[in-house]
């Protein structure tokens, strides 16, 4: 029986691939035979991610491209440096981390530039490299579907900001739109909406916050670092060959109560 999840001979650009959730996606794609191009704006993280992947088994190549999702010319240059693409993963985010009452219009615009304009520019450019068809997965968020409960954020901790959630809602909708636009060219587009995946350092410093988030998941725990990778590999692979325009929750049940 054919391995439906095989990515043999495929090349995938993962923007945000050096990040907390992005790196396990690169690892999982390589384990399925893909070549990966790691895109990120942080040179140190890029080098570290490339070294990590190079030390792991996998037939596919590992290359990097510097890209700033706030800058159209940088996005176009990164995509241009890739050969034929079969997959795109957008795993970055713009977020002000600023309280609603203090958020400036400039900060709001900056987040939109990364989340909305950046994803649009990236998706259109990447599609032009998918000459044999392909698939895209955008990282949205459960906070693009539901609002954060301010009571979950103890003390003076600002709730997850409005620019982030509004941008993620836009990314979910963009996945549907782009799926419709490219469907007949054999390019599928889906989004995933991760729930709470705080890195260990955040968990260590904010135990009350983590207890609050834990209560709101059906599974009673935080998402683990590698637990979005399976959904991404699935959506990029033949296993999802008739799935497009969908938003898949990877949130321990948060949005299903």
Ligand X SMILES: NC(=O)c1ccc[n+]([C@@H]2O[C@H](COP(=O)([O-])OP(=O)(O)OC[C@H]3O[C@@H](n4cnc5c(N)ncnc54)[C@H](O)[C@@H]3O)[C@@H](O)[C@H]2O)c1
Phi then psi dihedrals of residue 54, to 5 deg: -65, -25
Does 19 contact ligand X by CB under 6 A?
Answer: yes
Q: Provide the mask over 138-157, with x wherever binding to ligand X is found by CB under 6 A and - wherever it is not.
A: -x-x----------------
Decide: helix, strand or coil at residue 229. Answer: helix
Does 30 contact ligand X by CB under 6 A?
Answer: no
Separation between Cα atoms, residue 69 and residue 117, nearest integer Å: 8
Residue 16 falls in which region: left (phi positive, over 0), alpha (psi -120 to 50) or beta: left
Among 194, 233, 234, 244, binds ligand X (CB under 6 A): 194
Does 27 contact ligand X by CB under 6 A?
Answer: no
H helices within 152-222, ranges in order? 162-182, 200-205, 207-216
Q: Provide the mask over 195-234, with x wherever binding to ligand X is found by CB under 6 A and - wherever it is not.
A: -xxx------------------------------------
Measured N-to-C along each axis, helices 22-31 and 229-236 cross at an angle, to the nearest 10 degrees, of: 50
Residues numbered 65 to 104 that lie near ligand X (CB under 6 A) are: 67-70, 91-93
Looking at the Cβ atoms of 18 and 175, the one nearer to ligand X is: 18
Does 134 contact ligand X by CB under 6 A?
Answer: no
Closest CA to 224 of 6, 14, 24, 16: 24
Size of interface with ligand X, in residues (CB under 6 A)? 24
Neighbours of 7 (CB within 10 A): 24
Stretch that binds ligand X, among 26-34, 50-58, 177-185, 194-202 (CB under 6 A): 194-202
User: Would you tell me which residues interact with ligand X (CB under 6 A)?
Assistant: 16, 18-22, 40-42, 45, 67-70, 91-93, 114, 139, 141, 194, 196-198
């Amino acid at each position: 029986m054919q391995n439906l999840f095989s990515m043999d001979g495929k090349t995938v650009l993962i923007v945000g691939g050096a990040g907390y959730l992005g790196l396990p996606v690169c690892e999982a794609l390589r384990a399925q035979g893909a070549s990966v191009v790691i895109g990120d704006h942080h040179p140190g993280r890029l080098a570290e991610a490339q070294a990590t992947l190079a030390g792991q088994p996998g037939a596919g190549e590992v290359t990097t491209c510097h890209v700033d999702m706030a800058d159209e010319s940088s996005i176009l240059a990164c995509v241009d440096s890739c050969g034929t693409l079969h997959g795109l993963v957008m795993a970055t985010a713009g977020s002000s981390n600023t309280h609603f009452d203090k958020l400036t219009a400039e900060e709001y615009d900056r987040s939109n530039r990364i989340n909305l304009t950046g994803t649009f520019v990236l998706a259109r450019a990447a599609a032009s490299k998918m000459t044999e068809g392909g698939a895209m997965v955008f990282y949205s968020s459960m906070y693009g579907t539901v609002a954060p409960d301010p009571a979950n954020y103890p003390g003076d901790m600002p709730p997850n900001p409005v620019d982030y959630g509004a941008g993620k809602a836009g990314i979910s909708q963009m996945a549907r739109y782009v799926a419709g636009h490219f469907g007949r060219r054999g390019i599928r587009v889906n989004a995933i909406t991760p729930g709470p995946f705080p890195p260990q350092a955040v968990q260590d410093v904010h135990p009350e916050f983590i207890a609050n988030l834990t209560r709101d998941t059906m599974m009673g725990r935080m998402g683990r670092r590698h637990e979005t990778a399976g959904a991404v590999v699935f959506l990029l692979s033949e296993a999802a060959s008739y799935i497009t325009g969908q938003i898949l929750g990877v949130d321990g049940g948060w949005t299903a109560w």
